[in-house]
Structure 1
């Protein structure tokens, strides 16, 4: 576990009234500054009230010896758990859950005889989090549960005013504490987290032995991003075959922070058409110590993401066979013919367990039904500069039992290029990639296509990603959307009910970034220190379309940053470089004479940088005020703290001109490269607030108990509820 996570969560789940460190937060414009400065005594009083209330509630639980009991022979609730995840690396904390349309039930199994705590938040810390703490009383064996929330500006928790979690059962043995509890997805309580479709940061903590109701400082804690509401995979009822496409003992040098490796594979020899129905990652990375690869339990793999592509058919089978038998190629140095490997088949990124396709679709495999050769592209993110031996790849699951429809993957979004710039010091900076109506009109069938799932992909500063659907001048409901994106957890999202997409419709991939912690601009590229904005779209029926992207035209891009001319290259030449390799080869003499020295070692370390190195080579000639600066130096020196500047740049690059690209499976153009204005359409508005029926009140869950004496328990619960009301009023 990272030290930072430990420090952030170092006081997680302290539902104790004896830590008066709460600071009352004043929203902007709530009070004049003079009143706010003189309100310290009021804040201390409010803090005291919260602490007193928390102590009363905790004391009630500690003295409630007969709140509810569970027979030792009924430790299982009988629920079938739809999902299960390990929350820690060792498997000491297991979370299982199942949900209905309105409720969700959890089972938490933890190696502790103290309390167990679970939290839900959009951030990786407890501030403002929804927290639930449970324990089994050592003396009486009764399971207890407490609904808490993290304070907004202090790493401490207090009990909620309304308790919305309900214990289903709880017990402990010699090593573990197991609790099951449930809640509404939306409790209509402002102090609770609304569990929805977005990624949720799941927080957990374990108390020391004997921490029954006392809730002292935890002994272990952590966090993990998960989507709690996701459809169940439907495994095939027939046996599946598998095909492993793996890198073979590739040594990742310690001098490269970013490495792209491409390996050609020949498809299995099949006598008839088969369907790919799923895939799983095969991660095998071993650090090299003293010249030998070793297995280390907590070592992190440098594999960042992997994509398996179909390659267009080629009559020169001998050459392709040779490539399939080779160890592979460094990305920028791969043979030119591999540029025909453009149709994605499987896309995996960090945090994903892989995918199984919906039961009505499959991707054709093999020469009889698909193609003969495939290319695996693996991106290694080795910022720590370790030497690693890697044999990672993807396991492809396929079957001769054909599905109803031939499916395919379509890549869309912002073209990966250094022309994709995200300024620093921005809270919510947006960029977009457009799949134009000209492209979809020329490549899709008359009846259109059906979109079934989407994998949204970006890097570490992305916070939101959405795939928009435009028809004519109207925006339709979003095809897919993630409002709490976490690059550590990239699992594809099923589109409920599917989505019909017609010829002439437009796709827009929009990414929102938080760069408040960055001091310099971030450029687009493959490195984890750079950024992306992509959608991988699974659809049927299969078409010839493989990729549909856009980027800012070169002239408009440099004009946006006030640059008119470079030494040695006109804008048309610069554009051609970006549209080819992104590298400056055979530099003009005038440019070589004035180019600032930049580290060749740094360029080599970053590997395939898609024009990042070029940004450091281009030297400004006009205007005079920027003359003799490299473009990268010019970017770094811009006053990014000025909101008027960054807002205008965002507006120009977002709403301005876009150069669109439409690639077919054989690497030919599905539509000519065009420069187009951003589409004019009426944006969809969210009606979530107006449609909500919540008045922010308690929603009590109905308990289903199998224990004897239920009427006595119900009377006791009624009495407890009365005590709760007194406590709440007393605060």
Structure 2
């Protein structure tokens, strides 16, 4: 993800006229009577029911009036103890919390006991059961494959099959966080004595890691059985159960929790013996490969030793396409991850060793007549990213983009990406980003398997990169819960590079690093925002699976694209700068579309002058703003500067590059010394940035508004590395944003059905509610006096 989003040294841009503009619990009755049994006549039953209701109302009135006079008579004593009650509020609330937890535990035990004593005909005895469902998705929830989750969904429900290596209970959970607090949980087991499967709808408590049963049971057991080693259960639920104790399953990434109970924990909920979590999107269309056999081409690094002195490393390797006599189509790809840690000088296979491969992109390279040179590069080991030959700058069109957590992608049946000299190009470049913050040594043979076919599909497809240009000018302040940055694909770019009928967007891969929490891919036409092409409101950098756009999206000439990222930097004390390191940040979208055009990249960044002005800096020692601009536009190239200044800047840049690889101007930020204004004089810009009052909301909001909604420097790059439109300064487009109002779109009739074991406590529940009302009335009188 480099050339596509970095400016070129030879670029020039024009300030347009636009740049001159100003930025500018229902209550139960105390009497529970089976009227149907003793009064068969319907009219008689109705009359008696009305009389009972009136009697209850009279009784409640008498109780409240009695409480009123009692409170009034005891008023001085209540006033005397009111301050004591206030002083002990913290202790009382803590005791109340413990009491509530104890009551929830009692309810859970009561529900579990009911499940244990069920008549056998109410349970499922399914040792011989074989599922008739076709599972659309299968995922290992743990590294060793001891917990397998399969599922298939409709428009309103989802069905799961959970296979776990345990003879105790197995738990599955859904949460936005990576723990069980407030999580939606389901616990299942198979009775060892009778072989009957049971399931329990639960949730996690807010203040401790404890599981309690829900008031309403919304999970439906389909089947369950166990053998000598495994427990398997199948169950279903609604995507939205309209139960506040259940999680709504939607299109966003969700943390899937799992837990295994000790052997024999049937109907009990002791502490689990194994547990874990994994981010997944449960609602995702599945594009399947052709029914005909596919060929594959493995594009992978060969026996490359990842040095233990670099936390971030970009490695580039050139490959020659397969020898094909006619055009073929790439129809899918999948990752090949093979990273072996080196111990005592030898690579070893370790079960729980995590690969340092962070992401990989395969690029097409523009045709070159000097094939002798390109063939030599295909025989070489590869190149360190910043030191690769200049000719590789023509490798800018992405063909496959993989990131952590992705299983790859198969394209829809009507599109394919051309492959081979007769229909595509001859040479490709694989760029691998290694994230090795622990500075371990690995032997790597990772890459991408390309699936292709001779059965050419209806449309030639391509990938387009969009978003924020990777640069140290992309700043995320510290101590922020939701700070936004945006990248623009301008209408000038789409006007110059797209056909009259526009293009059709098929899928999108949203990409950022560990501090991103939301990413939106917006579509602007005229002054209106159309429905979001893709959106992730629970982004997890460890799960970056491409997202199919349901039904596709028609994108016309002159439309704009906006990639918006929202970051949580509340745990950071210093600003985060843009860059390729996993400790830095990105904000990108990779868009699969058809028909294929010449456009390869469309993105923007904050102009250098406007960026430094936002932080009150007007001048640096030894460099004009035009000099600084040239350095950032050439990805940190320091050639041509005065020798003394160049040596100083290279020292800071080299320090960053040695550890973090291609720093994209991060080192430069540490070397620039402020000259004007006087109040910041002799500080490095990085020191100045660190001292900004980021704790002041008004200040941070103004910075966000200036950098995101102000002037943008837009780039439009074609497949041959030429410019599809002049680089320009443009104001953030003025448009009417769409709004989401989930409450108006859907109303839930929350279920009031409760388990039989709960109905026996109806009287006590009503009594408690009425008592609470009386006490509240008393407290109101006391305060009023």
Shift of 1:603: 3.1
Most deviating of 573-582 and 461-470: 573-582
> What does 1:371-382 align with in structure 2 at a 5 Å threshold?
371-382=425-436
**1:49 to partner: Cα distance:** 3.2
**Residues 513-560 of structure 1, C-alpha deviations (whole Å, 9 max, x = no match):** 111111111111110000000000000000000000100000111111
* TM superposition shift of 1:138: 1.7
SS in 2 for 1:369: coil
Distance in 2 between residues matched to 1:411 and 1:297, nearest whole Å: 35
Tell me, yes or no, if structure 1 residue 685 matches structure 2 residue 736. no
Counterpart Cα distance in 2 of 1:142 and 1:440: 62
Q: Greater relative contact order (Cα 8 A, min sep 6): structure 1 or 2?
A: 2
Among 522, 537, 542, the alignment partner of 1:468 is: 522
Q: Verify: 1:264 aligned to 2:322, yes or no.
A: no
User: 2:373 pairs with 319, 333, 340, which one?
Assistant: 319
Q: How does 1:284-433 map to 2 (within 5 A)?
A: 284-433=338-487
Structure 1 counterpart of 2:759, from 712, 725, 731? 725
| CA distance in structure 2 between the partners assigned to 1:678 and 1:728 by the alignment | 59
How far, CA to CA, are the matches of 1:638 and 1:83 in structure 2?
48
User: Structure 2 matches for 1:534-613, cutoff 5 A?
Assistant: 534-585=588-639, 587-588=641-642, 591=645, 598=652, 600-613=654-667
C-alpha contact 1:568 1:590 (8 A) present in aligned 2? no
Q: Shift of the alpha carbon at 1:599? A: 8.4
Report the alpha carbon displacement of residue 75 of structure 1 after superposing the two structures with TM.
Answer: 2.1
Aligned runs of 1:102-113 on 2, under 5 Å? 102-113=156-167
Measure, in 1, the Cα distance between the counterparts of 2:553 and 2:221: 39
Greater fraction helix: 2
Measure how far apart 1:646 and its partner are.
1.1
Q: Deviations over 1:672-718 (max 9, x none)?
A: 000110000000011322111213326x8xxxxxxxxxxxxxxxxxx
- Looking at structure 1, the residues matched to 409 and 749 of structure 2 have their Cα atoms a distance apart, in angstroms, of 39
Structure 1 residues 600, 314: CA separation in 2 closer, same or farther (over 3 Å shift)? closer
The answer to whether 1:126 aligns with 2:180 is yes
**What's 1:490 paired with?**
544
Distance 1:286 1:260 in 2: 18
2:467 and 2:563 in contact (8 A); partners too: yes
Q: 2:708 aligns with which of 644, 654, 659?
A: 654
**Structure 2 equivalent of residue 160 of structure 1:** 214
Q: Where does residue 46 of structure 2 map in the other structure? A: none
Question: Corresponding residue for 1:230?
Answer: 284
Change (3 A) 1:227 1:595: closer
- TM-score scaled by length of structure 2: 0.84
Q: What residue number does 2:66 align with? A: none
1:587–1:38: structure 2 CA closer, same or farther, 3 Å change rule?
A: same
**Contact 1:407 1:538 survives alignment (8 Å):** yes
Contact 2:317 2:378 survives alignment (8 Å): yes
Confirm or deny: 8 A CA contact 1:427 1:513 kept in the other structure. Answer: yes
Q: Are the counterparts in 1 of residues 188 and 233 from structure 2 also a CA contact under 8 Å?
A: yes
**Aligned partner (choices 480, 501, 512) of residue 534 of structure 2:** 480
Distance 2:547 2:440 in 1: 33
Tell me how far 1:55 sits from its aligned partner.
2.6
Q: Distance in 2 between matches of 1:34 and 1:408?
A: 68
Conservation of the 8 A alpha-carbon contact between 2:653 and 2:668: no
**Secondary structure at the counterpart of residue 112 of structure 2:** helix
Measured in 2, the distance between the counterparts of 1:136 and 1:558 equals 65
SS state of the match for residue 608, structure 1?
coil
Distance 1:729 1:53 in 2: 15
* CA RMSD between the two structures: 2.0
Q: Of the two, which has the highest radius of gyration?
A: 2
Q: Secondary structure at the match of 1:671?
A: coil
CA contact (8 A) 2:125 2:197 kept: no
Write out per-residue CA displacement over residues 283-335 of structure 1, whole angstroms, 9 at most, x where no aligned residue. 11111122222222211111110000011111111111111221111100111
TM-score with structure 1 setting the length = 0.90
CA distance in 1 between partners of 2:403 and 2:757 (Å):
51
The total of aligned residue pairs comes to: 680
CA deviation profile, 1:124-145 (whole Å, cap 9, x unmatched): 1111110001111222222111
For 2:476 and 2:151, the matched residues in 1 are separated by 38
CA distance in structure 1 between the partners assigned to 2:203 and 2:337 by the alignment: 38
Cα distance, 1:588 vs structure 2: 3.0
Structure 2, unpaired ranges of 5+: 1-84, 766-785
Give CA-to-partner distance per residue, 1:312-365, whole Å, 9 cap, x none. Answer: 111111111111221111100111111111000000001111110011000001
Partners of 1:592 and 1:271 in 2: how far apart?
A: 51
Range that drifts further, 635-644 or 327-336: 635-644
Alpha-carbon shift at residue 195 of structure 1 (Å): 0.5
CA 1:46–1:595 in 2, change beyond 3 Å: closer, same or farther?
A: same
Q: Tell me the SS of whatever aligns to 2:361.
A: strand
